[in-house]
Amino acid sequence: MSTASSISPGSLNDLPFDNRFTRELPADPNPVNSRRQVQGACYSRVLPTVVASPQIIAYSAEVAEILGLSREACESEQFAAVFGGNQQLPGMDPFAMCYGGHQFGNWAGQLGDGRAINLGEVRNQQGQHWTLQLKGAGPTPYSRTADGLAVLRSSVREFLCSEAMYHLGVPTTRALSLTLSGEKVMRDMFYDGNAAYEPGAIVCRVAPSFTRFGNFQIFAARNDDETLRRLVDFTIKNDFPHLGEPSQETYARWFEEICRTTAEMVAHWMRVGFVHGVMNTDNMSILGLTIDYGPYGWLEDYDSTWTPNTTDASGRRYRFGNQPTVAHWNLYQLANALLGVFDGPEPLEQALEMYSTHYEATIQSMMAEKLGLKEFEPTTDKDIIKELLEVLQLVETDMTIFFRQLSNIGIVNADDDADCLSPLKAAWYKPEQLIGDKLSRIANWVRSYRNRVQQDGTTEESRATKMNSVNPKYVLRNYMAVLAIEKSEQGDHSLVNELLELLRHPYDEQPGKEEFAEKRPEWARTRPGCSMLSCSS
C-alpha cells in the first residue's frame, strides 16, 4: 500500500486495504480461473476481466465519503479504471467467495460468486471495514455456464435500489458506482429464445461483509466441519465482535442476532412494499442486510400474492405476503448447517422460535407508526390492521400513495361514504369500482381508524408528521427504473442521476418532483421490466 507524501487526501491510492477475509480464511490453492468445484476453501483469488472503455455514469457521493474518497477522485479516469475492473490499487486482493444455497426451496449445491469479485476490504477513518465488490466484472471459478458479466439494464436497477433502500431506512448493502464497460453482452431477458446484445455495465457494491447463509451451508453439505467452524469463528470475531470470543454461548447469541436482524429487515420490506423476488438462501446476508437486487419490485397495487419474478410466477414462493415465512424457512436451513459447531440443537431451536415473536412485534410496531398511532394496542389494533390489509385489496390500491394520503384524513367523521374517502382518491387505479359494499367497507374502516386516532389524543399535525416520516412519498417504482434505463441505453444518463438524488429524500415533499409520486402509468401495467422481471441480467 502506497504511503507516499504526494498522495492527496481522498485519493484512490490512499485507500487503506485491510483484507481480513483472504488473510485469515483458507484459499483455493488452484490459481487458474476455470469453472470447477472448489473444496475446503472459502474463496478463490481472481482478477476482474479487462474491459474496452470503462465510463462512470453515476456514483454515490455519500458512499464515497464513507470510504474517504473525494469528489475529484470519483470523477477521475482512475476511478473508472478501478471500478470498471481495469486497474488494481495497491493493497487490493481480489477474490470470489465459495458458497452454496437453496434455490426456490431446493438444494443447489455449490453456487458462489459467479459474477461478483471482491476487490478487498477498506478500513475507513472511523475504523469501519467496508468490502468493495464489483458485480459483472467477469467470470470466476463459480460462474458455471455463465459469462460473469452484467448489463446496463440490471445494473441501473441494482445501483439505484441499493441507495434508495438505504435512504428509506431499510437495512441494505450500498452501491458506490455504476460503470459502463464499453462491451456488448448477449442476454435472453425472458429465456424465450429472443437473445440480443445489450450494453455491459458494472456496479461497485459496498457492505461490511457479503457473507451469506450459503457460505456456511456449503461446508455443512460437504461435512467439512473444520472449515465451517473457522468461518463461523472468523465471522463472529470480525462482524460480531460485540458478542465476545467464540464459544457455545457466543454461538447461541450469534444465531439469535441473525434471526433478529433478519426479522427486522423483512419487516422493513413489508413496511415500504418491497418484494425481493428471489429469497434463496444464497441471497440472504448474515448481517441482516438486503442483498442481491435482481428481479425485485415495488408493490404498487396492494396485492399480497404478487411476485415480480417470472421464474416464480407459477409457485409464487417469493410473493410479497410470504416473505416473512420464507425468511424463517431460510433461517431454519442455516440452523441445520450450523449444527456442526453447536453441542446440541436447543439454542438454534430457541432462536428460530424467537424469530416469529420478534417479527410479529416489529411489524406491529411499524404498522402503528404507519398509522400515526402512539403505540400498538393489541385489543384494538390487531383488528384494525387486519381489516386494513383486506380492504386494500378490494379495489386496485396504490400502497405508497394510500399510506401517504392517509395522513390527510381528518379526525372528524364524514357521514357520506364518498366524502369520507375523498382524501384518499389519488390512491385508486380504478375509482369507478368504489361502489356498493366495497365503498361502504372501506369508508367504515376509515371511520374506525379515525375513532382510534381520537383515542390517542394526537393532534392532526403531529400525527401527519409522524406518518410522513415512515410512509415514503417516493419509491423506485419499476416504470421509473425502466425510463432511466431506456434513456441511459441511448447515452443519456441524466435520469439515472436525477432518480438517485430524488431517492435520497424519499420522505420529503420535493416540489417539482410530484410526477414521480403518482400512480404507475397504464402503459406500465404489463410492460416487461415494469410488471415482471427475470433473474437474467
Q: Catalytic positions, please? A: 282
As a dihedral over the C-alpha atoms of residue 55, residue 61, residue 66, residue 68, rounded to 10 degrees, the angle is: 70
Look at residue 177 and give its three-state secondary structure: strand
Residues comprising the chain, all counted: 537
CA 405/CA 114 separation, integer angstroms:
43
In 3D space, the residue among 322, 314, 273 whose CA is nearest the CA of residue 296 turns out to be 273
CA 433/CA 101 separation, integer angstroms:
44
| Helical segments of 91-212, H only | 152-168
CA 132/CA 144 separation, integer angstroms:
23
CA 277/CA 297 separation, integer angstroms:
7
Q: Kindly state the cell numbers that stand for 361.
A: 412485534
Q: Provide the residue type at 158 as one letter.
A: E
Look at residue 108 and give its three-state secondary structure: strand
State the angle between helix axes of 323-338 and 346-370 in degrees (0 to 180), rounded to the nearest 10. Answer: 160
Look at residue 530 and give its three-state secondary structure: coil
Cβ burial 85-108 (10 Å sphere, 16+ → b, else e): bbbebebbbbbbbbbbbbbeeeee
| Helical segments of 273-416, H only | 323-338, 346-370, 378-391, 399-406
Which residues pair with residue 386 across a beta bridge?
Answer: none
Question: Residue 313 in contact with residue 528, Cβ under 8 Å?
Answer: no
